[in-house]
Amino acid sequence: MKKNIVLFVLFVLPIVAYLFFASGVNSFTTLPVITPKVADFGNWKSLNGKKVSLDKKITVLGFSGSNILENRGNYFNLNEKIYKRYNGFEDLQFVILCPLGTEKEAQKIVDALSPFTDVKNWNFVFASNEEIQQFYDQLHLKGKLNQNLGTSNVYIVDKERNLRGRKDQKEYKDGYDTFHPSELSNEMLDDFKIILYEYRAALKKNHNATKQL
């Protein structure tokens, strides 16, 4: 009897575990599209005066509202849980859409992050209140912007400008709340890994196809 138990632990259990985890990986190799082909930004300027585009970038997108400094803790949460972990990823950008007139407040956020973070992929972009509302509306999100045109949620937009998230009715999610570090560490981090896995798999596939040619 003991011999059979030992054999089961050594041989059968690892196979069962492998099949379990393999099925899990295959089930989560893509993150569903919530809103396809969202519009790109208008001719809006960032803090450094450059135009920022959603094209060909994985974008973590946020809406600051006019009270940026009151919510600075949210940006520190996002910086610690997601940004610093993946800042080295070449095609990644973090974009916070802000109302015109909040440039000084946004600069204070960047200045506060810069002593312990490479802030090159943090982009604060400025537009009119009407433009921000119109841009948000075309994302077709479940939530709404608050009276200051902000939200604590951030959103994942892929290189083809598709808004990504979870479509399952039980765990539907089109955004991730930066006010809660646990949500960033769990749901957002899991979904972000899937996006990166998709692109790495695509790069590998294209590389192998090129080698075959």
Domains in the chain (CATH in brackets) are 33-212 (3.40.30.10)
SS3 assignment for 22-33: HHHHHHCCCCCE
* Range from 1-5, 106-110, 136-140, 143-147 carrying the lowest mean pLDDT: 1-5
Phi-psi region of 109 (alpha: psi -120 to 50; beta: other; left: phi over 0): alpha
Model pLDDT, residue 1? 62
**pLDDT: which is higher, 127 or 7:** 127
Per-residue pLDDT at 5 exceeds 70: no
Decide: 162 and 195 in contact? Cβ < 8 Å: no
Report the Cα 178 to chain-centroid distance in Å: 11
Which two structure tokens, joined as six digits, stand for 184? 């960033």
d(CA 80, CA 22): 30
The arithmetic mean of pLDDT across residues 101-115, rounded, is 97
**Average per-residue pLDDT for the chain:** 87
| Residue whose entry in the numeric block shows the structure tokens 């082909």 | 37
CA distance 152 to 148: 12
Structure tokens at 1: 């009897």
Comparing 203 with 84, the larger pLDDT belongs to 84
* CA-to-CA dists, residue 75 to 49, 55, 82, 198, angstroms: 21, 23, 10, 26
Nearest to 86 by CA among 107, 126, 58: 58
Q: Grade residue 203 by pLDDT with cuts at 50, 70 and 90.
A: confident
Provide the pLDDT for residue 137.
98
State whether residue 99 is helix, strand or coil: strand
Distance CA 158, CA 142 (A): 19
Give the per-residue pLDDT at 25.
Answer: 39
User: Angle at Cα 143 formed by Cα 85 and Cα 167, nearest 5°?
Assistant: 70
Residue 89: its pLDDT value, please? Answer: 87
pLDDT at site 121: 94
Distances (CA, A) of 122 to 5, 82, 172: 55, 12, 27
